[in-house]
Amino acid sequence: MADKDNDPAAAWQAMLGEMSKGFTTLASQAMAQPEIAKAVGQVSGATAEAQKQFGTMVEQYLAGLNLPTRAQMDALEARLAAAEARIDQLTASIEQASGTPGAKPAKAK
C-alpha cells in the first residue's frame, strides 16, 4: 500500500480542499459587500435575459424550418399520454361490460 505521506494524489486532494475552503471564504466575504452582490445580481439578470433571447431565437429558427420546439413536443407527448390512458380506460370498460378479459368488441356491419 502507498504511504499517505508520500502519496501525491492525497497531497493534491488536500491542496484542492484547502484552496476550495479559501475560495469559499473569499466569495462569502465578497458577497457581504453590497456593491459586489449588486454586480453579481446584474450579471445573473443579464445571463437570464441572454438565455431567454437565445431561446426565442432558436424557437423562431425552428419555426422557419417548420420544426417543432421542445415545448411543442412536450405538449404533444402529454396529449398522446392522455389519449393512451383514455383508450386504456375504454378498453377496460369494454372488457368489464363483456365479461371476458381481452375480448374485442364486435365489428359493426
Name the H helices within the chain: 8-31, 34-64, 70-98
Rounded CA separation 43/46 (Å): 5
* pLDDT number for residue 54: 93
Q: What's the whole-number average pLDDT of the chain? A: 85
What is the chain's length?
A: 109
Give mean pLDDT, residues 24-33. 85
* pLDDT number for residue 11: 87
Q: Which residues contact 95 (CB under 8 A, 6 or more apart)?
A: 101, 102, 103
Q: Identify the three-state secondary structure at position 83.
A: helix
Q: Is the pTM value of this prediction over 0.75? A: no
C-beta separation of 37 from 31 below 8 A:
yes
